Amino acid sequence: MNHPEQSSMSQIVVLACSILVCFASTILFIPKSAVLNRLGAAVALSCLQHSLYTSLLTSSLPPAQITGISLFSWGLYANATEQILLSRYNADDVLTVKERPLGRLLSTVAQFLRAVGMYFSLRRVGLRGEVPMKHRAPTNSVRFITTRIIQCLCCYLVLDAIFLAPRPEKHLITREKQSLFKLTSLTREDLIFRFATALGNWVIGYVSVRLAHGLIAAVSVLLGLSKPEDWPHLNGPISSWSTVRTFWGTFWHRLFRKALAGWGDFIPDNVLRLRRGTLLSRYLRLTLAFFASGLMHRCIHYFYRLEAGERYEMETYFLLQPLAIMFEDAVQTATVHTPLPRPLRWIIGFTWFCIFTTWVTPLFLYPTMRVADPGQLLPFSVVGHFMKYY
């Protein structure tokens, strides 16, 4: 059996740099009215992204690290193509909304660096189409960097401790145990494990994103590439865990909101010409945005070498989210005049959210847990090294 040639790290770096050059050149030199030219640039960007993806697939990195890098790269790609084809950013958009009225002039090098930075501007802070979010209170750079470093250290140690936990017993994560409908065969142990793994998955996701986001923010401000006010709060309050809608729309990070929602809005608004505000338009846009997220997460299937019968679990999981939101909307509409205290409504909503999450999360999580050795997400273990001596 022939195995693909292993990709080198230099090859991956060259491809990543080529993507940035392609994107920045498109923003600066192709007018937003030149639709066909921009479409061609998007095709070129897609080819480079696919090459980067396949290079990661055949690299020597552990699957856990490859998955994290790949997910982020596909999110950046979706963000970039949205900027090129839908928002149609051009050379004028390298200036922030506040800088435009001042008529500030930038050198060619400065414009190029600004355009490269836009590739990573997931929430479009200061740009046209900024994602609504809670901004930070004014603070100085030293305090911001110190706070982010402490936060990163805490997140790293939490993840390190979690990853030292023993792997689950095989009988708890069989294909039958991840079923959405054969629930009567589940034992009490299965239900407890199902809830614990669902909770653990979201804790790991939450802490991992905060670690990566905090590290990038600290380095960016330290190098003078951005200011503290360019880094709004990442998550909403935990009290928003009352429904599936508020979990995704308020609590969870909005890093890919513009990229995914932009493509989700395009078909109903520009292809089908549905009138905004109708139920069909609202729910179709919602469903397409979650479906796009499912496609972005599809790379997990290849990195973990999942079986053919588990090929569409990721898309199924994300398509169940808008169905849950539609159900919530229907229940809330039917009970809007029911005199329930707000705390009681929150408790009922939170209970529903926990039940739904426990029900659907094993669909995509258990297959990855059955992989023999996914490797470590973190480069080294501090807690593990400490435990060897104590």
Per residue, what are the HEC states of 156-183? HHHHHHHHCCCCCCHHHCCHHHHCCCCC
Residues 141-148 have a mean pLDDT of: 93
Concatenating the DSSP letter of every residue in 47-109 gives: HHHHHHHHHHHTSSS-HHHHHHHHHHHHHHHHHHHIIIIIS---GGGGS-TTTGGGT----HH
For residue 244, give the nearest of 291, 286, 205 by alpha carbon.
286
Measured from the Cβ of residue 317, the count of other Cβ atoms closer than 10 Å reads 20
According to the model, what pLDDT value does residue 385 have? Answer: 73
According to the model, what pLDDT value does residue 308 have? Answer: 53
Look up residue 309 and give its DSSP letter. G
According to the model, what pLDDT value does residue 307 have? Answer: 60
Residues 352/243, Cβ–Cβ less than 8 Å: yes
Residues 119-147 have a mean pLDDT of: 85
Tell me the average pLDDT of the chain.
Answer: 87
pLDDT in tens, 358-375: 999 998 888 888 877 666
What are the angstrom distances between the C-alpha of 371 and each of 72, 191, 207, 252, 306?
22, 21, 22, 27, 8
pLDDT in tens, 25-70: 999 999 999 999 999 999 999 999 999 998 988 888 887 788 888 8
Sign of CA dihedral 90, 93, 94, 95: positive
For residue 22, give the nearest of 109, 112, 93 by alpha carbon.
112
According to the model, what pLDDT value does residue 223 have? Answer: 85
Residues 78-83 have a mean pLDDT of: 94
For residue 78, give the nearest of 258, 316, 346, 229 by alpha carbon.
258
Residues 286-292 have a mean pLDDT of: 93
Which of the four pLDDT bands, split at 50, 70 and 90, describes residue 384? confident
pLDDT in tens, 46-57: 999 999 998 988
How large is the C-alpha radius of gyration of the chain?
22
For residue 119, give the nearest of 97, 92, 98, 89 by alpha carbon.
89
C-alpha–C-alpha distance, residues 376 and 378, integer Å:
5
Residues 160/381, Cβ–Cβ less than 8 Å: yes
Residues 156-178 have a mean pLDDT of: 88
Which of the four pLDDT bands, split at 50, 70 and 90, describes residue 311? low
CA dihedral of residues 148, 135, 75, 13 (deg, nearest 10): -40
C-alpha–C-alpha distance, residues 359 and 207, integer Å:
22
Residues 224-239 have a mean pLDDT of: 85
Residue type, 283: Y
Range among 21-25, 227-231, 253-257, 373-377 with highest mean pLDDT value: 21-25
Which of the four pLDDT bands, split at 50, 70 and 90, describes residue 183? confident
Concatenating the DSSP letter of every residue in 231-273 gives: S--SS--GGGTTSHHHIIIIIS--TTHHHHHHHHHHIIIIIS-
According to the model, what pLDDT value does residue 41 have? Answer: 96
Q: Examine the pLDDT at 309 and tell me if it is beyond 70.
A: no
What are the angstrom distances between the C-alpha of 180 and each of 26, 186, 300, 357, 366?
45, 11, 20, 11, 12
CA angle 15/82/90 to nearest 5° reads 85
According to the model, what pLDDT value does residue 354 have? Answer: 93
Q: How many CA atoms lie within 13 A of 360 on its CB side?
A: 19
C-alpha–C-alpha distance, residues 382 and 160, integer Å:
7
Q: What is the share, in percent, of the chain residues with pLDDT greater than 90?
A: 44
What are the angstrom distances between the C-alpha of 128 and each of 55, 121, 123?
34, 11, 10
According to the model, what pLDDT value does residue 1 have? Answer: 44
What pTM did the predictor assign?
0.87
